[in-house]
Amino acid sequence: MSLPTYRSKRDFRRTPEPDDRHGDSRSPARSREPQAGGRFVIHRHRARRLHYDLRLEIDGVLASWAVPRGPTLDPSAKRLAVQVEDHPLSYFGFEGVIPAGQYGGGDVIVWDWGRWRPEPGQANAATALRAGELKLVIEGEKLRGGFVLIRTDGWAKSCRTKPKWLLIHRRDDAAVHGWDAEDHPASVKSGRTNEDVAAGRRAKSR
Ligand code: MN
């Protein structure tokens, strides 16, 4: 995993997203932000199309998937998750507006964050991802419980395209039928919605 793709897609003179080559000076860790090591974050990103970006801290980067319909606690729903470029750890708490015309132009909030771990007995995360199946346990503020990420197309094809995965909640105590991410729109970091961020409103005290 590495970050040249992340850098090559962005013009850091125009986007407020973090440039990992210049250190993480933009957003000092807030007390509520999960400590480094085993974190996950999900950004709600209104780009050309709305999607949610699931990011898992693995080996010093944020391995990332774009989930068009958003994650869910509903175990009967299989959500498409398109693997995208690894993001730097400094992206973790990013909220802001990426200008129109730039890669991913649109507004971004921290929709959920917390900790994740491989399910007991699961190989280490990098190995599991290469094998195309990662069973994980998530402890976030909105999402909880067991999930599985399963790659749906073969490795050879995935090397040439953006690999497609399915994100599925397991049938466990945290499962909730009919649960929809769109019913929970506020940022866990700032209390803002995407509309608030787009309008330049400040973080709400919580
Ligand atoms: Mn995105």
**pLDDT per residue over 70-102, tens digit each?**
999 999 999 999 999 999 999 999 999 999 999
**Ligand 1 centroid – CA 39 distance (Å):** 18
Q: ∠ CA(135), CA(141), CA(145), 5° rounding? A: 25
C-beta of residue 183 within 8 angstroms of C-beta of residue 166: no
pLDDT of residue 35: 85
pLDDT at 36: 82
Cα-based angle 201, 35, 164 (whole degrees, multiple of 5): 80
CA of 142 to the centre of ligand 1 (A): 19
C-alpha to C-alpha distance for 111 and 41, rounded to whole angstroms: 8
Q: What's this model's pTM, rounded to 2 decimal places?
A: 0.91
C-beta separation of 96 from 107 below 8 A: yes
Rounded to the nearest angstrom, the distance between the alpha carbon of 121 and the centre of ligand 1 is 31
Rounded distance between C-alpha atoms, residue 89 and residue 66, angstroms: 17
